[in-house]
Structure 1
Amino acid sequence: MEIDQPTRDGTYTGYLVPSVIAVHGGKVMVGEGAKRLCADIAKYKLQQNRNLFCECKNDIGTNITYHKAPEGFRSPAEIGGKVLGFLYESAREFGPDLPNCRYTILCWLTKVRIWTATLLNSCD
Structure 2
Amino acid sequence: MGLTGFGVFFLFFGMILFFDKALLAIGNILFVAGLSFVIGLERTFKFFFQRHKFKATSFFLGGVLVVLIGWPIIGVVLEIYGFFLLFRGFFPVAVGFIRRLPVLGPGLGLICVRRTTLK
- State the TM-score, normalized to the length of structure 2: 0.30
Larger radius of gyration: 2
- State the TM-score, normalized to the length of structure 1: 0.29
Higher helix share: 2
Higher strand share: 1
